[in-house]
Structure 1
Amino acid sequence: MSRKKRGRAAKNARQKFPPHYETDEVKRAPHVLVFKRGNTGSNVKELVKDMRRVMEPFTAPHLKANKKNSLKDFIAISSHFHVSHLITFSKTQLSTYMRLIRVPRGPTLIFRIRKFTHSRDIVSSLKRPQTFPKQFEHAPLLVMNGFANLNDSVHIKLTTTMFQNMFPSINVTTVDLSTIKRCVLLSLDPLNGLMEFRHYNVKILPTGICRAAKKLLQGKVPDLSRFNDISDFMYKEGNASESEGEMDEGEDNKVMVSQQLQSRGNLKSNQSAIRLTEIGPRMTLELLKIEEGLCDGEVLYHTYVKKTPEEIQDLRKKNADKKRVKANRKREQELNVAKKMKKKKLSAGENSDKVEPEIESDWEDY
């Protein structure tokens, strides 16, 4: 048996994990669980891991979902762990699917994944990948493109609201710019209805200075052996141009920094350039349908199947009859279980009454 912690060990444990270490901001933030359903294969399993990295830190990165775990099990624990959304991945012979579920009352959005690329494939194709552990300490910034023009459609409104509620809201006046390390981009094509999912790393670089000065500001020690003076390095080396330097000087990606950042060279009230580096995963999504409730309600929207009002009324009547029959069956089962338990208790009491006199008679004979 393990010994109880005492003295300094107990003090360090209390400091590391205080009784109420979760702040109100963390409790209010949306928490998302990402897992797979059924037999999916290794590619979908890796996609699940990549999606968990996107939703960090408000997710369970090492969640173990067994085949025996049903959807009701995850819904039952959602209130205890402040879970607001579920993302499930499944695979059939036709395609791979992703479901976005709002806990506890729905709705459920079902997407078909037309194509996807893992994070490791994207990072390996980059010349200068930007991946480090600290960028996952804060939630990513959500950017949605092409959704405002189609806000009149009900399914677009529901999709926009669902994605917005999956990420923490940001107050522009009080946000700390140093915490914005990642960005999730959702771009909707109005012609074919496909949605592009991208995940980027955000890096802020100083502008208006030469490449040599950037090296000095970033703490890099230059090789001055081939120069006679520091001025030769600043002027000659600074005149050399690179594709990255030219990209930083674009007018579209320049912003005025309103805060003092931790990175070197980015001063308050000065212009800086924003560079996005894709870190994956990459997905092309197609919205198939929207269901009311948790994967078992009425179909609010379907991309390919359209029904008349009369057919919708018939389906609602059939669903109401199914629910009524199911409730009656459940009530009958509960009554039958109660009768069996009562009968079992009565039989156990009768057996105990029969055994006691026999034991007393044996002792009397002895």
Structure 2
Amino acid sequence: MARKGKGKSKAKKTLKVTSNKILEHSQINRAPHSFVVHRGLVGSNIRQLVVDMRKVMEPYTASNLRVHRKNVLKDFLSVAGPLGVTHILAFTRSETGINFKVSRLPRGPTLTFRIKSYCLSKDVISSLKRHSMYAQQFENHPLLVLNNFAREGLHFKLMSTMFQNMFPSINVNKIQLNDIRRCVLFNFDPETNLIDFRHYSIKIVPVGMSRGVKKLIQTKIPNMGRYHDVSEYLLNPGYLSESEAEQDGPHNEVTLPQTVKSRGNIAAHQSAVRLIEIGPRMTLQLLKIEEGLWDGEVIYHEFIQKTDEEIAEIKKRKAKKRKLKENRRKQQEQNVEKKKLARDKQKKKSLAGMKKKEKEEDEDSEVEQPAADSKVMDESSNDDLEDADWYRKEVGEEPDPEFFPVKSTRPSLKRKMKSSENTKPKKQKFKEEKASKGPKKGFQKNKGSTLTAKKPNLKKKVHFQQKKGKRKQ
């Protein structure tokens, strides 16, 4: 019976794990995903700011996305659909300053901010005495806090909804406190019309105990060489360093509904919530809100106000531009179709020509085939005769007809020579050819048929002999 119970408990565990995985997968699919990129030449600091912003948007962002100079907005849009990306955050540089664009995919709107000032994460962390940076806090999405955005105006509503949709929604009844490790703050200042962006790490510390007890709970072994008794260390916190003192009070003390993983934070007990800034920092100013994706109608502009007539004229101009673009696209499609038809026609023509050429080659080969066969037969018969002659010389007997078959009686296709041709013997033929060429040098032909030699030149001969005698002397 015990074994059966064990098996059931294992099955229940595996079922629970699989159900949790399915739930997690569905949550990931429903969560908003983002691309954080830079466009154009922005400099090394802005590139580092892009990396820091990707850290803020983790885990639902492309952390290792590579952006090349040749990449355009269409490249990101073509990839965004299959990956479920809902937002693009882009940093650009213009003549007036650095801009930060937040776009909702696939049809907008687009919010454009001017970055008045910024500070990188490394600078923020280096300014802290005790920073709180660890890898586990980036495994879950941050908590979003919006301050002073409940105001009149369409641009405030658009900003608040855009910021809310950038991060996953939270179910208060099902949320686990161990999953909340970070916080993102957007604070609107009505006096300057600027938005402050901050990124914090959340730390929970137990309240209602002395600092000595906290050190013991957190497994930090204190130096008790100065004390006579343990009670002095526990009751008198004056010997502790001033840097460890934290300003806790009713503004940040809460009663925990769940037990948190850090030491001393138990459910139904009071703990203090502390925020440690981990960067980056940005001070933003809203410039404009566009209806489309980076190139739509301007809904709101901070500095430029246009009349209804100007707006109507801009709309008319955009409609004309859109129509011209559509006509151009139709013309391009027609040209492509025309080229395709011409290509198919040329292909058919070339295939017909190739077939015709193959047919002609086959006919020519059929005509030439008998002559080739006769040639092969003649060669084979010559080889047989040579083999028979060799056998006679070496063995001294006539070869057996089985080994060397008799030459085929098939008539030769070669043209037979006439009886009148080549009937003369070779010697007579040679003499006639020699006589036709004429006498050799040094001979002359007389009136008769006989040949007589020329008389030698005696003067030349004597002169040559005299020269020869002088050389010898």
Cα deviation digits, residues 162-188 of structure 1 (max 9, x gap): 000101111222211111111111111
Q: CA offsets, 1:266-321, max 9 Å, x none?
A: 12122111111110000011110000011121000001110011111111111111
Q: Which runs of structure 2 are paired with 1:18-29 in the superposition (5 Å)?
A: 23-29=25-31
The match for 2:339 is 340
- Counterpart residue identity of residue 77, structure 1: V
Aligned length: 346
SS class of match (1:221):
coil
Residue 358 of structure 1 deviates from its aligned partner by 2.1
Counterpart of 1:145 in structure 2 is 147
Structure 2 counterpart of 1:98, from 97, 100, 117: 100
Per the alignment, in what secondary structure is the counterpart of residue 351 of structure 1?
A: helix
Q: Deviations over 1:334-359 (max 9, x none)?
A: 01111011101111211221232223
User: 1:99-114, aligned counterparts within 5 Å?
Assistant: 99-114=101-116
Other-structure match for 1:256 = 255
Deviation of 1:46 after TM superposition, in Å, equals 0.4
Show the 5 A alignment for 1:64-213: 64-148=66-150, 150=151, 152-213=152-213
| Residue number in structure 2 paired with 1:266 | 265
Deviation of 1:224 after TM superposition, in Å, equals: 2.5
Which residue of structure 1 aligns with residue 325 of structure 2?
326
Q: 1:208 to 1:124 in 2, by over 3 A?
A: same
1 or 2 for the larger relative contact order (CA 8 Å, sep ≥6)?
A: 1
Distance 1:159 1:340 in 2: 49
Checking the alignment, whether the CA contact within 8 Å between 1:36 and 1:89 is kept in structure 2 is yes
Which aligned pairs between 1:29-48 and structure 2 lie closer than 5 A? 29-48=31-50
CA distance in 2, matches of 1:41, 1:22: 38
1:226-277 deviations in Å (ceiling 9; x for gaps): 33332122123467573553412x2211112111111111121221111111
- 1:106 partner amino acid: G
**Distance of aligned partners of 1:197 and 1:45 in 2 relative to their CA distance in 1, 3 Å threshold:** same
Q: TM-score scaled to structure 1, two decimals?
A: 0.90
| CA distance, structure 1, for counterparts of residue 246 and residue 71 of structure 2 | 53
Aligned to 1:7: none
SS at match of 2:274: strand
The residue aligned with 2:352 is: 353
Q: CA contact under 8 A between 1:210 and 1:238: conserved in structure 2?
A: no
- Identity across the alignment (%): 47
| Residues 195-224 of structure 1: per-residue CA shift (max 9 Å, x gap) | 110001110111111110110111212222
CA distance in 2 between counterparts of 1:349 and 1:242 reads 91
Cα-to-partner distance string for 1:109-151 (whole Å, 9 max, x where unaligned): 0111111111011111111011000010110111111111x2x
Looking at structure 2, the residues matched to 28 and 129 of structure 1 have their Cα atoms a distance apart, in angstroms, of 33
Amino acid at match of 1:307: K
TM-score where L is the length of structure 2:
0.70
Q: Does the Cα contact within 8 Å between 1:292 and 1:299 map onto a contact in 2? A: yes
2:255 partner amino acid: M
Shift in Å, 1:21: 9.4
What's the counterpart of residue 216 of structure 1?
216
Preserved CA contact (<8 Å) 1:213 1:238: no
Counterpart of 2:83, as a letter, is: F
1:53 is aligned to 55
User: Offset of 1:79 from its aligned partner?
Assistant: 2.3
Give yes or no for contact 1:130–1:277 (8 Å, CA) kept in 2: yes
Q: What secondary structure sits across from 1:172 in the alignment?
A: coil
The Cα shift of 1:363 comes to: 3.1
Q: Is contact 1:211–1:238 with CA below 8 Å preserved after alignment?
A: no
Q: Tell me the CA shift for residue 89 of structure 1.
A: 0.8
Aligned Cα root-mean-square deviation (Å): 1.8
Quick one: structure 1 residues 164 and 244, their matched pair in 2 at CA, closer, same or farther if it must change by over 3 Å?
Answer: farther
Give 1:69 deviation, angstroms: 2.1
Higher percent of residues as helix? 2
Quote the offset at 1:362 in angstroms. Answer: 2.4
CA distance in 1, matches of 2:335, 2:252: 70
Q: Secondary structure at the match of 2:45?
A: helix
Note the residue ranges of structure 2 that are not aligned, 5 or more in a row: 1-16, 366-473
* Closer, same or farther: CA 20–247 of 1 in aligned 2, 3 Å: closer
- 1:364 aligns with 363
Q: Does 1:280 align with 2:292?
A: no
Structure 1: stretches of 5+ with no match in the other structure = 1-14
Q: Which stretch of the first structure deviates more once superposed, 310-319 or 161-170?
A: 310-319
Deviates more, 1:62-71 or 1:176-185: 62-71
> In the superposition, relative to structure 1, how do residues 242 and 208 fare at CA in structure 2: closer, same or farther (>3 Å)?
farther
Q: Structure 2: which amino acid aligns with 1:311?
A: E
Amino acid at match of 1:227: Y
Name which one, 1 or 2, has greater alpha-carbon Rg: 2
